[in-house]
Amino acid sequence: RAKENGKNNFQFFTADMNELMAKKMRLEIGLRKAVINNELELYYQPQIQVNTGHIMGVEALIRWNHPKMGIVSPAEFIPLAEETGLIIQIGTWVIETACRQAKEWEIQGYAPVRMSINISARQFQQTSFVDTVMEIIENTKIDPQYLELELTETIVQDPVYAIPVLNQLKEMGIKLSLDDFGTGYSSLSYLKSFPLDTLKIDRSFISTVNESGKDAAIVKTIINMANSLDLNVIAEGVETNEQLLSLKQDGCDEYQGYLFSKPVKAIAVQELLQKCMEEKSLGPIVEV
């Protein structure tokens, strides 16, 4: 009887696995079509200067409007896109679309803001990556000082490969940001040897900054270190005024999170930029 149960459990397990694999295959087939059928869209989340409430930049975040499943999260399809190599095509589309949008805002007369773009490991490792970025800059005529690439610690794990590539990007005038800082195999030597401009403190530390003394200490330490190294430091995932207040006390430069705005469509960013120019809506200002 036990044996029978075991067998049943095993069958149940494989049925689950089959379902998972079938889902993955449907996603992969869908993702190939998504690129052709214009189902991909960029949302933008403002990055706010803590002391003034001004919008300093926006982070481009991809969304997939699946005809049947609705909006699919990048957390679900970016890993699949990496696995299948589709990320090359998708990633290039992201850079091109974001740069064209930034140029569009410039033409419309908004004060310039940084455009931050997430780059995946496989994209970065393409030998043609630097050329692709250069070509997009030339075609869209975006000012490279307002272009920032967000890289994760996994990307830069191979410093022998990464450092020359990063230096080439820097020579083009592009800004470089280390995303999700503190979650990867962080090595402080990265900070010394990589030509970085910005550190982004991972949301996992920010979400409990007011509850956990340890997280508060980590956040404070990252901010101090970034300030000493002359790096711009951005806190991700700020949802409450209390979190913003402690970031301000710690001397954090910028924040992004639902407290100011969720990632929104380009048209909604324009409204925020407009208000920012009229100095009407500055983000939640906290007094220390």
Supply the DSSP string of 170-202, one letter for each residue. Answer: HHTT-EEEEEEETSS---HHHHHHS--SEEEE-
Exactly one of 180, 250, 253, 254 binds Mg ion (CB under 5 A); that residue is 180
Tell me 126's DSSP state. S
Q: Which residue from 15, 41, 165, 46 is spatially nearest to 114, judged by alpha carbons?
A: 46
Residues 194-233, one symbol each (x = binds ligand C2E by CB under 6 A, - = not), give ---------x------------------------------
Minimal distance in Å, beta carbon 68 to Mg ion?
28
Residue 259 CB, shortest distance to Mg ion, in Å, is: 16
Minimal distance, residue 106 CB to ligand C2E, in Å: 21
Residues 85-114: x where in contact with ligand C2E by CB under 6 A, - otherwise, as a string: ------x--x--------------------
Q: Is 258 in the site for ligand C2E (CB under 6 A)?
A: yes
With binding defined as CB under 6 A, does residue 74 bind ligand C2E?
yes
Is 207 near Mg ion (CB under 5 A)?
no
Choose which of 47, 56, 88, 150 interacts with Mg ion (CB under 5 A). 150
Applying CB under 6 A, among 136, 165, 176, 179 the residue interacting with ligand C2E is 179
Alpha-carbon dihedral angle through residues 44, 50, 53, 58, given to the nearest 10 degrees: -20
d(CA 122, CA 129): 10
Residues 6+ apart with CB under 8 A from 36: none
The pair of structure tokens assigned to 29 is 């087939």
- Nearest Cα neighbor of 47 from 195, 254, 269 is 254
Query: In the window 263-282, what residues touch Mg ion (CB under 5 A)?
Result: none
The sign of the dihedral angle between the CA atoms of 175, 146, 183, 85 is negative
Contact positions vs ligand C2E (CB under 6 A): 45, 60-62, 73-75, 78, 91, 94, 118-120, 150, 179-180, 203, 236-239, 256-258, 263
